[in-house]
Amino acid sequence: MIAILGRGAWGQALGATLSQAGREVRFWTRGDDPSWLAGARTVIAAVPAQATREVLAHLHDHLDPSAWLVLTAKGLEKRTMALQTGIAQAAAPRLKPAVLTGPSFAADLSRGLPTAVTLATREPGAEALQETLATPSLRPYLSHDPVGAQLGGALKNVVAIACGAAIGAGYGESARAALMTRGFAEMTRLGTALGAEPETLAGLSGLGDLALTCASSQSRNYALGLAIGAGRTPGEASGDGRTYEGLATASEAVSLARAKGVEAPVAEVTAALVAGNLTPAAAFGALFNRPLRRET
């Protein structure tokens, strides 16, 4: 049995896809009796990044210690800068962690549209998990680099906000292309400083997800940037009750980059933008008036 923690758009899309492929799927949401979770051999955490620690700590004693824990949230934890696997190691250390991430919209997956993702883990036996999660429309590629996979998924949300703001403010497609490219350079610099493999960041979980979320209004973070660029305050733009993972991740990415001595100007101006400390004009002025340099 596969247990899915959370019933948001992504959790429901995964559940529907797996059920249609013949898997037994059950959902757990807050307030449900967790005793049945002991029978799940695969547990998919489909809750927001900022809720993962609380949910796992609450459910840890009810989970089979030999079960796979598949983490799907894309973000850095507030105040700790922790990746999802770091949270899992602290809150649910008995389980085998894996990361499912990559270019995917819940609406596309729900419609049965072809979706390829990264399944990253250092645990043995990952091929069996890959088979469990694969369906006619969902194709997971194995990776042994969960750090790179998670950083790509988290940091692309920050770049997506910047790209949305550029379009919303009327700066055009060329500006968006520049932000995507320089944002990817930042992702690569920070990722390699944290031990990620460049090939991972150039794959589905990094460049692939970046391409998807920086150019589609289906992306919540891109849509948030669009609204801010068009003149709405960050509070107004994000006040609809939906989860915008890039909001918290932007400031944490800046802190992480500073701790590692990595230059991250796109993340810095995006963090200031979503905090309300810079207008779109000031943010892009700061980026385009930086000292000239070679492309790296």
- Asked if residue 181 is part of any domain, the answer here is yes
3-class secondary-structure state, position 117:
strand
Estimate to the nearest angstrom the gap between the alpha carbon of 236 and the chain centroid. 23
pLDDT digits (tens, 9 = 90+) for 44-98: 999 999 999 999 999 999 999 999 999 999 999 999 999 999 999 999 999 999 9
**pLDDT tens digits for 246-255?**
999 999 999 9
For residues 241 and 169, state if they share a domain: yes
Average pLDDT on 93-118 reads: 97
Q: d(Cα 155, Cα 270) in Å, to the nearest integer?
A: 11
CA 53, CA 153: separation in Å to the nearest integer?
18
Query: Which residues lie closer than 8 Å to 96 by C-beta, 6 or more apart?
Result: 66, 67, 68, 69, 121, 123, 125
Q: Does 166 share its domain with 280?
A: yes
Can you give the CATH number for the domain in which 246 is found? 1.10.1040.10
Give a yes or no: residue 293 inside a domain: no
156 is catalytic: yes
Please state, for a pLDDT cut of 90, what percent of the chain lies above it. 99
**Average predicted confidence (pLDDT) for the chain:** 97
Domain, as residue range, for 68: 2-144
Q: What is the mean pLDDT of residues 102-109?
A: 98
Would the pLDDT of 105 be above 90?
Answer: yes
In a domain, 75, yes or no: yes
Please write the tens of the pLDDT for every residue from 175-210: 999 999 999 999 999 999 999 999 999 999 999 999
201 and 260 co-located in one domain: yes
Residue 296, pLDDT above cutoff 90: no
Sheet holding 68-71, edge to edge: 25-28, 2-5, 42-45, 68-71, 96-101, 115-120, 138-143
Per the structure, how many domains does the chain have?
A: 2
Specify the pLDDT at position 255.
Answer: 98
From CA 162, how far away is CA 103, in angstroms rounded?
A: 18
DSSP for 9-22?
HHHHHHHHHHHHTT
- Predicted confidence at residue 197, as pLDDT, reads 98
230 and 194 both lie in a single domain: yes
> Which percentage of the chain shows pLDDT scores above 70?
100
Task: Judge whether residue 228 has pLDDT over 90.
Answer: yes
Q: Residues 139-177, buried b or exposed e (16+ Cβ, 10 A)?
A: bbeebebbbbbbbbbbbbbbbbbbbbbbbbbebeeebbe
Tallying the residues shown for the chain, one arrives at 296
State residue 136's pLDDT score.
98
Q: Which of 78, 96, 156, 260 is catalytic?
A: 156
Residue 118 is part of a domain; what is its CATH number?
3.40.50.720
| Last residue in a domain, options 128, 144, 160 | 144
Do residue 106 and residue 203 come from a single domain? no
Q: Both 108 and 155 in a single domain?
A: no
Residues 41 and 162 in one domain: no
